Chains A and B, each alone.
Chain A
Amino acid sequence: MIRIPCPFCGIRDHSEFTYGGDGSITYPALDAPLQEWHDAVFQRENICGVQTETWHHVNGCRMWILVDRDTMTHEIHAVRPAHPDLAKALESSS
C-alpha cells in the first residue's frame, strides 16, 4: 500500500484514492494548432523516477491533488492541492 499524505485529511492508504494521470500536462488553448493538442492528449514523457501526477481522494475529501512520486520506488516527495488557489490558501493559512 502506498500511503499518501492528503493535504486536507492527513496520511491515508492509496486505496482511498483513484489515480488520475500525468499531472505535468498543460492543455493548450482551444484554438491551438492540432499538433499541440495531439501532443498534450497522446504523448507522454513516461518518467522512470520522480514525476508529478494527479490523484483524486474519492473516498475521502474528494479533492484532486498533485503528487510528486517516484515511479520506481513509489516514494512520495511532495503533495499539494491540484487547484492553485487552494494551494495558495493553504500556504497563507499555515
Chain B
Amino acid sequence: MTRFSAWNVFWNGLTSQKGWSRQWRDPEPKSHYDVVVIGGGLHGLATAHYLAKNHGIRNVAVLEKGWIGGGNAGRNTTIVRSNYAQPGNREFYEDSLKLWENLSFDLNYNVMFSQRSHISLLHSPGAVDAAARNYNTMRRTGAPDAEIWSLEQLKQAVPHLNYGPNARFPIMGAALQKRAGTARHDAVVWGYARSADQMGVDIIQNCEVTSITRDAEKVTALETSRGTITTSKVGLAVAGNTSRLWAMAGLGRLPIESHKLQAFVSEPLKPLLDQVVVFGVGGAHFYISQSDKGGMVFGGDLDWYKSYAQKGNLPIVQDVSEAAMSVLPCLGRVRLLRHWSGVVDMSMDGTHFICKTPVDNLYLNAGWNYGGFKATPASGTYFADLIANDRPHPVIANHDLKRFERGLQIDERGAGPDPKLHG
C-alpha cells in the first residue's frame, strides 16, 4: 500500500497517478482468528485498528454483512463534541476528542476533522443555568474550550439566526465548545480500514454471521455466509442489530431498543454556516452544520416508534423542517437533496455499553444511541483494550450491562428508562 505524503502526491502527479495501490485487500476468510470483530462499521474497524496498533494483536478479522461504512457510519450527521457531564462519559468523550485531534496523522489519512465549534442555543434562564453547570464541569475536567456566550457574542458569530421579535423561542445565549466540529465520515471508515488492513487485519465484506456456536463458557465458532470461522475471542460491534446477535448467542434480553433516526442534506450552498448549531427546546430538536461540499447537513428527533427499517417517516421530515425554519429562516427556499435513516441502539439510560458478557470470550460494544460517530476513536481504543486484557479500563468500568442492577444509570438527559427519550 502506498503511503500518502506530499512527495507521493507530487510523484504520482508526474506519472499519471499509476503509483497508487488499492487501499485494503479483499481476503478470503481464514478458518481461525485470534479475534473476530463482528460489524464493519466505524467502531468495529476502529477496534481492529487499535487491537493491532496498541496491543499487537494482528490475526484479526472484521466481518461485515454488507459493505464497510454502509450502515450507521454512512448515515450520521458527523458531529464530534465532548460536552458530556456525567462521570465516566466526561472522561470517555474527552479522550475521544483528543484522539480525533490527531486522527489524520495516526491513520495517515485525511479525515477532514474540522474543529469549527459546536453551539447549543439557549432559550430560557433555566437552560442557561443548566448549561452553565455542565460547561463549568467541562472546564474543571480538561475542556477549557467550554464557554457560555451572551446573546451579543452569539449575534456577532452567527448573525443570521432568527433573533427576531416573532421567534417562537427567543434565543437568550449559547453554550459553546470550540474544539468540537465535524469530520468526513467516509474518510474515517476508509482510514481505519486501510490502517487496520496494513497491520494485517482481514476486512471481510459480504460476510453475514448466521449463527453463533457456543458451549457454557465460550463461543467456539461463528457460522457465516462465507463459511465457518473459529476464534479465540469475539467482539460485537453491531449497533442497531445488537439484540439480534445477542439472541443468536442465546443470551436473552438486553437493555436496548432499536429505533431509527433520520438525517438530511440540502443542495450545496456557498459558505453559510461556519459552526455546528444545535437547537433543542421543549419537543423540538434540530442540529445543523455545513459540509465542505456546501450541503447543509441536519437532523432532528427519532421517529419515536421502535423500528429496524432503514427508512424514515414523513412526520419527522415536517418536524425537522419546521425547526429549521424557526432557527434559520434563510433556509426556506433551499431544496433538500437527500434524506436517509439509520437504525440505532437506544439504551435504557442513553449511555453506551463496552463490557464483558456472561460468555467468557464474547465482548460487547453497543448502545450508542444518537452519539456513536463522535465516540469512534475512544470506543475502538477501550474496546480493543477490553478484548486484549480481558478487563474493563477504569474509564469504562461503569459502562456495563449490570449497572442498572447496581442502581446506577448514566443518564445525561435525566429522561429515565425509556429508550426513545434519550435523543
Instruction: Check if B256 sits within 8 Å of A44, measured CB to CB.
Output: yes
Which of A19, A35, A43, A46 has most chain B Cβ within 10 Å?
Answer: A46
B203-218 interface code vs A (CB 8 A; 1 in, 0 out): 0000000000000000
The A interface is mostly helix, strand or loop, or mixed, namely mixed
B50 to chain A, nearest CB (A): 28
What total of chain B residues lie within 8 Å of the partner, measured CB to CB?
26
Which residues of A1-56 have CB atoms within 8 Å of chain B's CB atoms?
1-2, 14-15, 18-19, 21-22, 34-35, 38-39, 41-46, 48, 51, 53
With known contacts A1-B315, A19-B420, A39-B253, A48–B258 Cβ distance under 8 A: yes
B305 within 8 A of A: yes
With known contacts A42-B404, A48-B258, A19–B304 Cβ distance under 8 A: yes
Q: Can you list 21 residue pairs at the A/B interface with Cβ under 8 Å?
A: A1-B313, A14-B305, A15-B315, A18-B304, A21-B306, A21-B420, A22-B257, A35-B405, A42-B255, A43-B252, A43-B253, A43-B254, A43-B255, A44-B243, A46-B243, A53-B306, A71-B258, A71-B307, A71-B308, A73-B309, A74-B307
B14 to chain A, nearest CB (A): 53
Q: Whose C-beta in chain B lies nearest to the C-beta of A45?
A: B253
A28 to chain B, nearest CB (A): 15
What total of chain A residues lie within 8 Å of the partner, measured CB to CB?
25
Instruction: Check if A44 sits within 8 Å of B255, measured CB to CB.
Output: yes
B418 within 8 A of A: yes
A89 within 8 A of B: no
Residues of chain A with a CB closer than 8 A to B157's CB: none
Partner of A21, one of B253, B307, B308, B418: B418
| Interchain CA distance A8-B277 in the complex, whole Å | 43
A residues with a Cβ closer than 8 A to B are 1-2, 14-15, 18-19, 21-22, 34-35, 38-39, 41-46, 48, 51, 53, 71-74
Residues of chain B with a CB closer than 8 A to A38's CB: 404-405
B417 within 8 A of A: yes
B326 to chain A, nearest CB (A): 19
Instruction: Check if B243 sits within 8 Å of A19, measured CB to CB.
Output: no
Q: With contacts A19-B304, A19-B306, A72-B307 known, what are 17 further pairs, Cβ within 8 A?
A: A1-B314, A19-B305, A21-B418, A21-B420, A35-B405, A42-B417, A43-B255, A44-B243, A44-B419, A45-B243, A46-B243, A46-B253, A46-B258, A48-B243, A48-B308, A71-B307, A72-B309
Instruction: Check if B254 sits within 8 Å of A46, measured CB to CB.
Output: yes
Instruction: Check if A51 sits within 8 Å of B306, measured CB to CB.
Output: yes
A90 to chain B, nearest CB (A): 24
| Interchain CA distance A21-B257 in the complex, whole Å | 10
Which residues of B393-423 have CB atoms within 8 Å of chain A's CB atoms?
404-405, 417-420
Partner of A44, one of B241, B254, B307, B315: B254
Residues of chain B with a CB closer than 8 A to A2's CB: 305, 313
Instruction: Check if A42 sits within 8 Å of B307, measured CB to CB.
Output: no
Which residues of B253-290 have CB atoms within 8 Å of chain A's CB atoms?
253-258
Instruction: Check if A74 sits within 8 Å of B254, measured CB to CB.
Output: no
Residues of chain A with a CB closer than 8 A to B253's CB: 39, 43-46
Residues of chain B with a CB closer than 8 A to A18's CB: 304
| Interchain CA distance A39-B419 in the complex, whole Å | 15
| Interchain CA distance A2-B419 in the complex, whole Å | 21
| Interchain CA distance A93-B198 in the complex, whole Å | 71
| Interchain CA distance A31-B407 in the complex, whole Å | 17
A72 to chain B, nearest CB (A): 5
B236 within 8 A of A: no
| Interchain CA distance A35-B406 in the complex, whole Å | 11
| Interchain CA distance A38-B404 in the complex, whole Å | 7
B290-304 interface code vs A (CB 8 A; 1 in, 0 out): 000000000000001
Residues of chain A with a CB closer than 8 A to B30's CB: none
| Interchain CA distance A42-B252 in the complex, whole Å | 13
B348 within 8 A of A: yes
Residues of chain B with a CB closer than 8 A to A35's CB: 405
B244 within 8 A of A: yes
A2 to chain B, nearest CB (A): 7
